[in-house]
Amino acid sequence: MHLNVEIKAKCVDRAAVRLWLLNHGADFRGTDGQTDTYFKIADGRLKLRQGNIENSLIHYQRPNQSGPKDSQVTMCHISEGAELKSVLEKALGVLVEVKKQREIYFIDNVKFHLDEVPGLGSFVEIEAIDSDGSIGKEKLLAQCEHYLQALGIQQEDLLHNSYSDMLLERL
C-alpha cells in the first residue's frame, strides 16, 4: 500500500498544460487508451485498468472533496486483464466503466495526467506519490499545491469526485 495526494480539475487549455510540463522537464511516458472497470464492493473502490501502457488492479480509499485529497492505494500490476475482468464481473458485478485517452507525464515522484473522457470533457490530474513511505503527506501536499499554482488551475475548476461518479450521476 502507498499514499498518494491527488488533485483532479477541469482542463481549460490542454496545450498550455502540456507545454508547461515539457518546458519544465517532464518525462512524457506516452498516451494510453484506458478502460477502467469499477466493480461493486462494500468499502472503497476497486477498478481494473486496461490500457496499452498501464494495466493494473487497484483498490483505493479516497474522500470526495475538491482540492488535494489523500488516497490509500493498493495496486497489483497485471499483464493481461480479460480473464481477470471476467472473474471480477461474475463475482462482484460491474458498477461503471470509464474510457479515456490519457497522456502520462512524470516530474520526479509526481505523475500528471491529461485526460479526455468522452461525454465528460478534458481534465488534468496531479498525483504526488509516496511509494515507500519516505516522502510523507506534508511534502506530497506541498508538491500538489505547487503544481496547482504553476499550472494556473483555478479553484472553480477543481473536482471533488471521480470520473466514475460523474458518469454514474448521468445515468
- pLDDT tens column, 104-126: 999 999 999 999 999 999 999 99
Confidence of residue 81 (pLDDT cuts 50, 70, 90): confident
Q: Name the residue type at position 162.
A: S
Domain, as residue range, for 27: 2-170
Please, what's the largest Cα pairwise distance for the chain? 46
Q: Name the residue type at position 129.
A: I
Give the count of domains, the chain. Answer: 1
- pLDDT tens column, 17-58: 999 999 999 999 999 999 999 999 999 999 999 999 999 999
* Residue-by-residue DSSP string for 38-54: EE--SSSEEEEEE-SS-
Model pLDDT, residue 73? 87
Model pLDDT, residue 158? 95
The label of the residue with cell 464481473 reads 89
The label of the residue with cell 485517452 reads 101
Give the residue among 66, 53, 56, 60 at the shortest CA–CA distance from 36.
56
Whether 68 shows a pLDDT value over 80: the answer reads no
* CATH number assigned to the domain comprising residue 21: 2.40.320.10
Give the residue among 163, 125, 132, 142 at the shortest CA–CA distance from 49.
163
Taking all residues of the chain, what is their mean pLDDT, rounded to a whole number?
A: 93
Task: Give the count of alpha carbons within 13 A of 121, CB side only.
Answer: 13
